[in-house]
Structure 1
Amino acid sequence: MAARREVEITGLHVSPVHAFEGRPLDGPRPDPGPVAHDRVAVRAGLGLVGDRYFNHPAHRNAAVTFIAAESLAPWPVDPLVARRNVVLRGFDVDAVARGTVFSLDSGDGPVRFEVHRPASPCAWMDAVIAPGAFKALRGKGGVRCVPLDDGLLRIGRAVLALTGT
């Protein structure tokens, strides 16, 4: 039986470009438009529609990134500065083992994701969050997943179910 819990999706980030290129001291590139969304479309095996990793061959098993809102709590910043696609409150995504499958249902039906690897932080975290954030986020940078279903995710309350490995 699946372990279920209520969580909150506090951020959804979709950007067609990389903002963290070059040297952190030079600052991030500006996004071409809004990256925060109230809802995002998920496509099985491809990622989030409109995101820079959507259907990107090198990122098929890592197209959607998740981070726990609690990992960013020490800093009074917008949680989307970490540039993870989905920010979840109420679930320690970093504690989930590789190969684990979980689903998120934010009101439009469950969407399953398989965890493939950690989303390790980079030196950019010191530039966009605060000095020392890069080191502090080691082991708390989130996870990279592949979506297993088509669906929709929305900001707000959701039900997360661990469905297995």
Structure 2
Amino acid sequence: MEGTGHATAVEVVALLTSPLHSYEGRPADGPRPDPDGGGRDRIEIRAGHGAVGDRFAGHAAHREAALTVMAVEALEHVAAVLGLPEVPDPLLARRTVVLRGVDVDALARTRDRPGAVFTLDTGDGPVRLRSHRAANPCAWMDTVFGAGAFRALRGRGGVRCEPLSDGVLRLGPARLVVEPQH
């Protein structure tokens, strides 16, 4: 898939925007309550800004990390490793977009390759994104998913992305296309 320009059928299983950062302070104190949970059926993306209404949108310090994208398969891995009876709620990972059907972590920039430029189209036209660094998990994952989740998510936390175009993303079937790297 990487750098090929071929479309990959994926599914958007969760979308999150929230005006507040629930995982602040000490994990032992528990997360701050999110007034509406943050889950959305659709989100509006603005180039160079992020997801409208999100805590990271429009902040210069987060320009290259305004959106985070994660694969739900990472949470399935957590459930298997921890012996959980079901896959954890993807909204608890606090990622902007959670996809099924693509190795999201392979899109991240590494020392050996630049981040990928890709589009995600849920039916309202493609939203163009540039991936940057990995969205590494934090100690909060042990608090919200269970002891051992932080370790199970290493290398599977998703990728931080910069929005390059305006658009709308919705829950449901989608197409992901990675642009060829020059």
Q: Which ranges in structure 2 are unaligned for 5 or more consecutive residues?
A: 80-86, 110-114
Structure with greater strand percent: 1
Native 8 Å contact 2:108 2:116 kept in 1: yes
1:145 to 142, 152, 161: 161
Identity of aligned residues (%): 58
Give the alignment of 1:117-156 within 5 angstroms. Answer: 117-156=133-172
Alpha-carbon displacement from aligned partner over 1:108-148 (angstroms, at most 9, x marks no partner): 00011000110000000000011100011011000000000
Q: 1:119 to 1:97 in 2, by over 3 A?
A: closer
Q: Which ranges in structure 1 are unaligned for 5 or more consecutive residues?
A: none
- Looking at structure 2, the residues matched to 90 and 54 of structure 1 have their Cα atoms a distance apart, in angstroms, of 26
- Looking at structure 1, the residues matched to 170 and 44 of structure 2 have their Cα atoms a distance apart, in angstroms, of 9
Match of 1:94 in 2: 105
Q: Which moved more, 1:95-104 or 1:132-141?
A: 95-104
Aligned AA (1:96)? L
Give the alignment of 1:50-89 within 5 angstroms. Answer: 50-73=53-76, 74-75=78-79, 76-89=87-100
Match of 2:83 in 1: none
2:9 to 2, 6, 11: 6
Match of 2:84 in 1: none
- Looking at structure 2, the residues matched to 61 and 95 of structure 1 have their Cα atoms a distance apart, in angstroms, of 17
Match of 2:44 in 1: 41
Structure with greater helix percent: 2
Report the TM-score when normalising by structure 1: 0.97
Give the alignment of 1:5-24 within 5 angstroms. Answer: 5-24=8-27
Match of 1:26 in 2: 29
Q: Which structure 1 residue ranges, 4+ long, deviate > 3 Å from structure 2? A: none
| Alignment RMSD (CA, Å) | 1.0
Report the TM-score when normalising by structure 2: 0.88
